[in-house]
Structure 1
């Protein structure tokens, strides 16, 4: 449910940006991917969840692909294979195991602070790879947006409308930070501040995204006047044919 809703939401948002001329089709696909992965992000602290395993596979593949793309001209093929395998396996298993030890489900990773931190980290990473400010900020926004969708769905599921009761899990999903882990929560806010300080400027991205002059929600022919004229002509032609 989480990944499906996040995929639908990010697809609609990417389509809107594409229709407005803000992004290219390949960028739209990239943003849809990030938004969908963001839908798995808060469950990264669940030790046995399928979402966590899937997310680390994709995350490991993404980082490894980025590494290969930057060093392939500087090393031999065998070295490239060794570095790629080391990078992927380290993220897939070692970093995953470390995260399992220091987190608990619906803890620090299941919070708005973590989602924002992940989004800003994505902004800095995409900017470090050399992409433009607009692409960098959109990447972070879509990743964080998918995470917010996940948190909202978890909070909605905490309310049982059929039995008219609130489950014990209510309030544990859509929270600013984890009160059970104040040290980690403080570190999250410090990192957010650092990332905001060194992140690329927002001005160009805001100027681009605030211009929706070319956006069309519906085709030009789909309006009341032209539809009325069309049906009037059809009725008139039919009447003329029946009464020559």
Structure 2
């Protein structure tokens, strides 16, 4: 498999190219720099399950420092004060630096389901949620940078699983770019469960819902016209309906009025039979 230096060099090079491409396609220069950095760092994310200390130490430390800064816009949306932002940023740093690192150390194995396509999608959606801003295109652009960096790592692992000198395939081939694990069913359930949860959070994001959500939560036009012709329907929904023995003259009058208007309308307008004559 490729070593740490190869992974970080490849993802950084691709990240720079991705940032330049984004700039020439209308993205702001600051978004391009952030996207290039995300692609570079994401090239180390799959090795969070590594037994060696360098990848997990470097990646966790960088993520713990950068994630709170990427969430400044979201903090402002919550109406937090400057002091509250600082306090929450410290909590996020501690949670990532010690909590997330310990989880990966205890519950993952190298080349497990964290080296997989669904894990790359989970990291991408997390990047979409963390990179909060009001421009949907910029958030998608940055989230794709995470996916590209993550997949760059997986592709390199598969490439290094082929011995070109001896023209043979190593045992590690196929353990990086995969959709499920044959060793543990629980790992598959856990991975896809986290992907579904993060996907639901991402798809319910206010910025995404504002653009693609339901903008007309009212009754259809036909239903509104029908209810507007029944004067008593509003009060009938708010009060107890009368019994069968009680008189409802207003309801009867209203019904007769509707019938009379309907008959007058039918007499005044030409019908299909009229045209046949």
Give the alignment's TM-score, normalised by structure 2: 0.64
Contact 1:134 1:204 in 2 (8 A): no
Residue 141 of structure 1, CA deviation: 0.9
Q: Paired residue for 1:11?
A: 16
Q: Residue 166 of structure 2 aligns to a residue in which SS?
A: coil
Q: Deviations over 1:88-142 (max 9, x none)?
A: 233112220122111001101111110111101111222xx33321111111111
Matches of 1:167 and 1:100 in 2, distance apart?
26
Q: Paired residue for 1:239?
A: none
Pick the aligned partner of 1:109 from 114, 118, 129. 114
Residue 202 of structure 1, CA deviation: 9.9
Q: Does residue 52 of the first structure (1) align with residue 59 of the second (2)? A: no
Q: Paired residue for 2:228?
A: none
Q: Paired residue for 2:195?
A: 192
Q: 1:80 to 1:125 in 2, by over 3 A?
A: closer
Q: 1:192 to 1:87 in 2, by over 3 A?
A: closer
Q: Paired residue for 2:35?
A: 31
Runs of 5+ unmatched residues, structure 1: 206-244
Give the alignment's TM-score, normalised by structure 1: 0.72
Residue 191 of structure 1, CA deviation: 3.4
Structure with more contact order per residue of length (Cα contacts < 8 Å, sep ≥ 6):
1
Q: Paired residue for 1:90?
A: 95
Q: Residue 170 of structure 1 aligns to a residue in which SS?
A: coil
Q: What is the RMSD computed on CA atoms of the aligned residues?
A: 2.7
Matches of 2:8 and 2:211 in 1, distance apart?
31
Contact 2:50 2:110 in 1 (8 A): yes
Q: Paired residue for 2:7?
A: 2
Pick the aligned partner of 2:66 from 46, 59, 62. 62
Q: Paired residue for 2:163?
A: 160
Q: Paired residue for 1:173?
A: 176
Q: Does residue 137 of the first structure (1) align with residue 140 of the second (2)? A: yes
Contact 1:137 1:202 in 2 (8 A): no
**Number of residue pairs matched by the alignment:** 200
Contact 1:107 1:181 in 2 (8 A): no
Matches of 2:209 and 2:170 in 1, distance apart?
40
Matches of 1:68 and 1:47 in 2, distance apart?
33
Pick the aligned partner of 2:45 from 41, 44, 49. 41
Matches of 1:135 and 1:152 in 2, distance apart?
26
Contact 2:67 2:130 in 1 (8 A): no
